[in-house]
Chains A and B, each alone.
Chain A
Amino acid sequence: MRSFLCAVIVAVALPCVVVAQNATYHQDPNWRAPVDAALRTNPLAQKPEAAAGGEKLFKRNCVECHGTDGSGLAKKNSADLLLPEVQSQSDGALFWKLTNGNTDRGMPSFSRLPEMQRWQLILYMRSLHGAQGSTAKQSSK
């Protein structure tokens, strides 16, 4: 019984202690989409209404690390999705990153989501950028 309890403690507690997550976010210069992937276009680009579904998926899958507004402030070790170096990437490049993840830096792969749902997430990410722009304009008035 004693050895069993020890095994339980080691199995649960040890990984919690040794787990290494990013302390602060710096964009990984080696995490780049291949050219052909970056050239892909969003098939939902002409369907802005699909962004509503993307918002739901974003809240479910992304908010924990990237925050409700995508700024990444929730944990400070995840990407600010509103940064120009993120938003300036093509839809195809972001789709590739969402699909593959960057496991060494804590970004999981979301290939388990259907392809169109991943495109919905990209669509919503773009709308976040627009929303932030309009908020900034309003606050500067």
Chain B
Amino acid sequence: MKKTLLILFVIAIFGSVRAQESPYFVTYDHHLEEPGNLELEIYTTSGIPRSGQAAYVAPYMEIEYGVTGRWTSELYLEGQGTVGDSAVFTGWRLENRFRPLKREHWINPVLYLEYERTSEATRIQKEIVGGGPDVSSPNSDLQATKNHELEMKLILSGTTHDWNIAGNFITEKNLSESEGFEFGYAFGVARSLANLASGNPCRFCRENFLAGIEVYGGLGSTEDGFSPHNTVHYVAPVVSWQVSDNGSLRFSPSFALTHEGSPVLFRFGYSYEVRGFASKFVQMFGGRR
């Protein structure tokens, strides 16, 4: 087992890879993972507290795999640590994205389906629906409630004049309780800082940076009604830096537009892509591809 993990680690470090990641943390665009590639991503969402709240850090890991050119599958493992409280594993998610259209269009739809097995203590805020997460109650109370949830998104995204413009419409249903449907949204625009790639090898060239802005929040639920009141909305500048041919860093401060939730979220992320993972995985066990 240790040997297998070591080999996987070596592949991850030395594998020939590429990364030109979208800078968004919440918004999805229409670009899926390349078939056979595996992307390992580590993120944190840190919440700056209001009075009466405690600061928290919610790390999560994402394992993304390109099953085919039009189907990407991802597994999330997430946790959360709150100052003066505890650190807990809050659950896992399995998501799938399907791209129905083969070619690039002005608007490219992607269908998103996710199953979540998380507790009420989840604070990664990968998406916000309804009124947003509970950031005031103690972890012991929140961990007691485990939810099965189904989440669906309609992702619409396109590229115009080198700007990516993406909009996500989110619906979430808690299967554990007789709640209604909760709704949310995310919009983002982003672009590369350079149109042309320079001829020199460099890490700080403008073409290695993508920047943009995203806006996301909850839209209420069928039970509580559709209203901007009692919901969380954020505006967030986003930037990604391709630090190597195989990895990129992302950063985004998110600022609350309402008085709910955390007033500021800091998001960090690092992603590493292993190209041809499927082939390498099979070869590792003596198979041929």
A→B interface (CB under 8 Å): 4, 7-8, 11-12, 15-16, 18-21, 49-50, 52-57, 59-61, 63-64, 75, 99-109, 111-117, 120
Contacts and interface: CB of A to CB of B under 8 A. Distances in A.
Given A57-B197, A103-B69, A112-B159, A21 B16 contact: no
Given A53-B196, A101-B69, A114-B162, 19 more contacts: A4-B117, A11-B73, A12-B63, A12-B65, A19-B35, A53-B207, A59-B245, A100-B103, A100-B104, A102-B69, A103-B69, A103-B102, A104-B70, A106-B35, A106-B69, A108-B35, A111-B31, A112-B31, A114-B191
Given A12-B75, A60-B245, A21 B194 contact: no
5 tightest Cβ-Cβ pairs between the two chains A and B = A52-B199, A103-B69, A53-B197, A116-B195, A114-B162
Interface residues of B, number: 49
Interface stretch (B46-54, B119-127, B179-187, B275-283): B275-283
Interface in B67-85: 67-70, 73, 75
Given A19-B278, A103-B68, A117 B104 contact: no
Given A19-B67, A61-B18, A120 B196 contact: yes
Given A53-B196, A104-B102, A11 B94 contact: yes
Nearest to A18: B67
Contacts of A7: 92, 94
A28 B117 CA distance: 42
A103 B100 CA distance: 11
B194 A114 contact: yes
B187 to A, nearest CB: 18
Contact of A15 (B17, B65, B92, B192): B65
B31 A109 contact: yes
A112 B242 CA distance: 14
A64 B68 contact: no
Given A103-B70, A109-B104, A114-B162, A21 B196 contact: no
B36 A116 contact: no
B199 A55 contact: yes
B22 interface: yes
Nearest to B63: A12
B68 A113 contact: no
A117 B192 CA distance: 10
A128 B265 CA distance: 47
Contacts of B276: 64, 75
A11 to B, nearest CB: 4
B197 A108 contact: no
B7 to A, nearest CB: 14
12 contacts: A12-B63, A19-B36, A19-B66, A50-B196, A52-B199, A56-B198, A56-B201, A100-B103, A103-B70, A106-B36, A108-B35, A114-B195
